[in-house]
Structure 1
Amino acid sequence: MLVDYGSRDKLFLDAVEEVRHQLLSIAGVSQADGYECVIVQGSGTTAVEAMLGAAVPRKDGKVLIVTNGAYGHRQKAMCQYLGIDHETLDFEDHDAICVKRVLAALREDEDFTDVSFVHHETTAGVLNPLYELVKNIKAEFPPMRVLVDSMSGFGAYPLDMSWGIDFAVSSANKCIEGVPGFGYVLCSREALQQTKGNARSLSLDIYEQWAFMESTKQFRYTPPTHAILAFQQALREFLQEGAREQRAARYQANYEVMERGMEEMGFEFYVPKAHRSYCICTFKTPDHPNFDFQTFYNLLAEQGFVIYPGKLSKGNSFRIGIIGRLFPKDCEQLVLAVRRSCDIMSVPLPLK
């Protein structure tokens, strides 16, 4: 990121092309197979909004948003802002999406043209059954467009566009381990071309973004040059590590250290093991009078560890992310830091 390239410099344009092709490859497809990668400047949320705003038709379009956490509910808010006809099917934030209930909801309303859901819902750390959802939806409703927010899943869990996914979104700063600055929409070229003239926003028009880049190799508006160069390097390191399989194995090893260490201290997971992801852990806040989350947070920060407060609809919790350039030895140190913090707060372990 200490190298400056102009946004129209050939070296930068070559980097963009490499990034686009590599992302499709990770998703199991290529341009030759009829798929495209559209880079969208901004946050991952920006890319999700770009996907929804372009994919769901203005005329007679209606999307079923399936939610089991805050990021699914965020899609609902986007549709409200954009004036997109939608309904929601809600699940508890500690449960995975049920395929049978999704199919039943689609059967009940023939007006649905699209269905959208989150692959890895990090509100609580629930992994939804992506393959089963896509295959069953496409088997019963072949014309239905399937939209996937795989923000924190892509690169760590299997996602193959050829399963029947029409649009999938992720961002630079999650499991590929780049830095914030852009998201990307992976899509079938046929589905993308159908969005021409449909977007609700000029700067978030993924069709025009793609068409301009195909004809000029450039972005329509100022690109995040340094973030893309950093991501180019992150992709190379991703492949050097062994691509998704080995990246996932490292995250799984991190999770196992956290699971063993936290449960030995009596901390309770919020999500049942069957639905739990290995990218983020959500723990119930201990019910002990001496445990104060802000104090706990500050004590961990003083030891070099920053965690997240919970985002659950019910109850108090906290979250620990275990993706990024982290290894089992880092997680072992975090477990020790948690133990020291509880000792300082006079919270006896194991918790009762």
Structure 2
Amino acid sequence: MSDGTIDDAATAFAPPMLGEPYLLTPGPLTTAAAVKQAMLRDWGSWDGDFRALTAELRRRLLALIDDRDGAFDCVPMQGSGTACVEAMLGTLVPREGKVLVLANGAYGLRAAQILRYLGRAHTLIDKGDYLPPRGEEVAAALDADPAITHVLVIHCETSSGILNPVQEISEAVYARGRKLLVDSMSAFGAVPADVNALRYEALVSSANKCIEGVPGFGFVIARKSELEAAQRNCHSLSLDLHDQWKVMEKTGQWRFTPPTHVVAAFIEALHLHEAEGGVAGRGARYANNRNVLVAGMRAAGFETLLAERWLSPIIVTFFCPADPNFSFPRFYDLMKAKGFLIYPGKLTAVESFRVGCIGHFDAHVMRAVVEAACRSLEEMGVASAAPAPHVLGERARLVA
């Protein structure tokens, strides 16, 4: 990968407000001042002005998938991203359905956990930390089990940073007459999800990811036919996607108290997203952030968990240095003191940490991150950022 795919001068970003660190996480993340300022007004949740905000939110999100035929609708839901994943699964998967969950990290495994709580039949392909599920594996699993009705894939698995090959998975699913559900929590808005190029029944994401809003709600973009067929499927009153949709269609209102300030902030974030060039523009900046980060960290001796082809523009996982003087809690504190919040690893087998590439910043910030990481190692007395040789050997064995 090369630096400079975007003109840095053209994408200069103001630093966070005084005293705020950069959030180098997969969300919540660093937001623009205009997004924060949009939360300074109070809104009446039943008022026409707020209903107009909700309608604009739904319309703008549908535009991001290029729904030319009007086959889809957007249903925002209060709560965390996980709550919205549960709403999608609990509403759109019939109680007699069965889900093939494709996992290669914490979020696929969490989806399987949700299905256990829901009492929905499911099976799992677990690829571990290093590799994505592939189309041929999905095809074989579907051929072996006719009871499977739905497949769930994580668009970008942020516990490792893998961008999964959703297109080939979709082709395998629909060639066998099944339905695809996409957890695009950390990808939507920066990675294309055009329904004219990628087939799926529903996609779920959140306000505080690549659109660069703040936490408080998520949304499910689903085929209207799937929403219509989902009446009385849901296990939960508050997470009933079908009921939320019907009420919004009839009244323009949320069924229960909406996160009014968060919605207002999200509308501003959508305006900024459009001004940047939409999905293509946002994705290009994030990819450039990743390129600068990875090149700098590798030059400093760090090594990425993933092989080059699977690195996403969302977040990058690095092996922890093998040097006995390295301690992640100490490294975290030193990075925080320099103005950067990073993420601990979520891997099952090796020590790692993660650096997000998404949020309201550009490559200038990523260069400062690399410099801060190098200075932090010096302060810790770490002579080398390299991981243990057996860690690299295990990765080479698994990806061969």
TM range (shorter): over 0.9
The answer for the alignment partner of 1:149 in structure 2 is 183
The answer for the alignment partner of 1:134 in structure 2 is 170
The 5-angstrom pairing of residues 304-323 of structure 1 reads 304-323=339-358
The 5-angstrom pairing of residues 71-86 of structure 1 reads 71-86=107-122
Q: What letter matches 1:249 in structure 2?
A: A
Aligned residues: 348
Is residue 2:79 matched to residue 1:56? no
Is residue 2:316 matched to residue 1:281? yes
Q: What letter matches 1:195 in structure 2?
A: A
Is residue 2:67 matched to residue 1:29? yes
The answer for the alignment partner of 2:199 in structure 1 is 164
SS of residue matched to 1:314: coil
Residues 94, 124 of structure 1: 8 Å contact kept = yes
Per-residue deviation at 1:349?
4.7
Given candidates 217, 237, 249, the residue that maps to 1:214 is: 249
Any idea what the Cα deviations from partners look like across 1:308-336, whole Å, max 9, x if unmatched?
11000111000001101011011111111
Matched-pair identity in %: 44
Given candidates 261, 265, 285, the residue that maps to 1:226 is: 261
CA distance in 1, matches of 2:112, 2:187: 20
Given candidates 220, 223, 226, the residue that maps to 1:185 is: 220
CA distance in 2, matches of 1:82, 1:75: 11
Per-residue deviation at 1:145?
1.7
Residues 135, 169 of structure 2: 8 Å contact kept = yes
For structure 2, the 5+ residue unaligned runs are: 1-38, 388-400
SS of residue matched to 1:161: coil
CA distance in 1, matches of 2:70, 2:254: 23
Residues 264, 350 of structure 1: 8 Å contact kept = no
The answer for the alignment partner of 2:277 in structure 1 is 242
Per-residue deviation at 1:135?
2.3
The 5-angstrom pairing of residues 261-280 of structure 1 reads 261-280=296-315
The answer for the alignment partner of 1:251 in structure 2 is 286
Given candidates 82, 91, 96, the residue that maps to 1:45 is: 82
CA distance in 1, matches of 2:168, 2:260: 37
CA distance in 2, matches of 1:256, 1:349: 22
For structure 1, the 5+ residue unaligned runs are: none
SS of residue matched to 1:92: coil
Any idea what the Cα deviations from partners look like across 1:272-301, whole Å, max 9, x if unmatched?
111110210100000001111111110010
Any idea what the Cα deviations from partners look like across 1:83-116, whole Å, max 9, x if unmatched?
1111111112210111100110001011111111
CA spacing shift, 1:350–1:184, aligned 2, 3 Å: closer
- TM-score (ref. length: structure 2): 0.85
Per-residue deviation at 1:66?
1.0
Runs of 4+ in structure 1 deviating by more than 4 angstroms, as ranges, are: 349-352
Residues 172, 231 of structure 1: 8 Å contact kept = yes
Per-residue deviation at 1:351?
4.2
Residues 267, 284 of structure 1: 8 Å contact kept = yes
SS of residue matched to 2:205: strand
Is residue 2:60 matched to residue 1:17? no
Is residue 2:153 matched to residue 1:117? yes
